[in-house]
Amino acid sequence: MNLTRSFLLPVSAAFLLAGCGTAAIVSTPIENIDSVPLKVADLNENEFKTWPHADLIADTIPGMSVNKAYEELLKGRKGVKVIVGVVDSGVDIEHEDLKDVIWINEKEIPGNGIDDDGNGYVDDIHGWNFLGDAVHENMEYVRILKKGDDGSAEYKKAKAEYDKELQEAKMNKNQYEQILQMVKNADETVREELQKEDYTREDIEKLPSSNLKLVQAKAFLTNIMSVDTSLGSVKELKKELEEGIKHFSDQLNYNLNLDFDGRGPVGDNPDDITDTDYGNNNVIGPDKEEAKHGTHVSGIIAAARNNGLGMNGVANNVKIMAVRAVPGGDEYDKDIALAIRYAADNGAKIINTSFGKYYSPHPEWVRDAIKYAGEKDVLIVNAAGNESKDLDKTNVYPNDAVDNGDEIADNFLTVGALDYTYGPEMVAEFSNYGKNNVDVFAPGTKIWSAVPGSKYEFQQGTSMASPEVAGVAALIRSYYPDLTAPQVKKIIMHSGLTAKTNVILEGDPEKKQPFSEVSRSGRMVNAYNAIIMADKVSRKKLDL
């Protein structure tokens, strides 16, 4: 849901540090912000597309001060290349805004059918595809049901969730189809009146009240488009509804279908971690459109900056290593464990993991991979999840703690999602949270980024918040390569902005907590502050 910026609340910018040693770094950043007068206005199109890079003080939008960091701290400086592994649904490596930032395995000779570098993967020029030609997949609780009723509590829990999700998917698909038909009917009435195919929200508002049918069409379209103020036309509205119908159809046909076998094309045993001879080097995947999620994530991190195309990624000096391991459904633990190890072994210094599930038959495989990445000095940036849950009360996988206990590694950073409206509603209503199991918050609502076919669109979720932070981590590791993964994690957590306000959780005004209590750091990520702190730590002026 899109909201307006209409609050005046105090903000603390603690941990802003003074005295950086290089000429390019501002020597006296603002140390305390007591109040921020927020203008009351809807975001315009450009603000929507760029808000994650905005500055809370200058722009009154709770972005990460990325533009400010480049303009005031990084201008004229050269960093080192940083490889970021994107473990996801696949990446459109041919996208106009990504093709120049895709990792190339220079130790491998393309197309010769030989494992030239001896890493166990043949012709892995841009990464590896652990899913082969598989696209869709069951949810993990569906896979549990397919193994049969063993009388366990897990089976009963899985069955209850399956029944609930199946009913909701059927109901939602039916409702979306009905709404779409009503939109089409109203659209036809308006087009006849305006005598044109395409029209805007403003055109609808100016319609005369000449007859009852037109009045009803105008009222219906105005009402439904008010739910999402960023929708500029009925054409966009119909597209969103059609995408919703496809989503629920995919749930019914694949994710929740007890008769569907998504693993067949892969040809391995997903319950045998030693069975590693599978997959291929097609990191886009068999269907480019199904690589939308991973392409969007990659664009957020590293889309080429200032090239006049659709967007700027957070980080320059980045190469994206595409590791396809997340299908249209729940991922397999084996694929994720091997994907993390692949990225760590082949030079990634940051790995983004924008996925998750609530059942895991082999969580130890993934935790071992997380620890392995830690030994290789790799930071993993992970999405908290989109189910409005308190992760201190619910296990979500992957994670770096057993049953919400002590962390097993210090290289795993979990990210919740912020809305673009600063104030009580700035925690995205879908975002998971948790004082102990979510580390930071970052922009995740209505994020503009690349999608397959050299196109761009808005998406939202903690899946978008995680790569925003991965981009900040890449900036730090590019300009301060001496810093370790644990140091980068601490810098990101300690350098963010804090807000002196209670925030609404789960979209429920009755559920409010201090922003400081919904994550371990109590902070929203800030690239500008992070660069200043990284400089201090790098020069041994600050010990974390």
Catalytic residues: 88, 293, 463
Q: What is the DSSP letter of 120?
A: S
> What's the one-letter identity of residue 193?
E
Cβ atoms 2, 228 nearer than 8 A: yes
- ∠ CA 474-477-478, nearest 5°, is 80
Q: Where are the alpha helices (DSSP H) in 436-482?
A: 462-479
Spell out a b/e string for 422-442, using b for 16 or more CB atoms within 10 Å of the CB, else e: bbbbbbbbbbbbbeebbbbbb
Q: What is the DSSP letter of 407?
A: B
Reading the block at residue 205, the tokens are 């508002």
Dihedral (C-alpha) 196, 200, 201, 204: value to the nearest 10 degrees?
A: -20
**Residue whose tokens read 């890079």:** 53
Q: What is the rounded distance in angstroms from the CA atom of residue 442 to the CA atom of residue 426?
A: 10
* Max CA pair span of the chain: 75
Reading the block at residue 526, the tokens are 């800030």
Report the SS3 class of residue 14: coil
Other Cβ atoms less than 10 A from the Cβ of 280: the count is: 18
C-alpha dist (Å) from residue 382 to 169, 372, 398, 416, 480: 27, 16, 8, 9, 22
Q: What is the rounded distance in angstroms from the CA atom of residue 47 to the CA atom of residue 443?
A: 13
C-alpha dist (Å) from residue 265 to 136, 278, 294, 299, 379: 11, 10, 21, 29, 32
Cβ atoms 450, 342 nearer than 8 A: no
Residue 363 bridge partners (DSSP): none
Cβ atoms 313, 301 nearer than 8 A: yes
C-alpha dist (Å) from residue 75 to 24, 51, 68, 271: 7, 21, 10, 50
Cβ atoms 352, 87 nearer than 8 A: yes
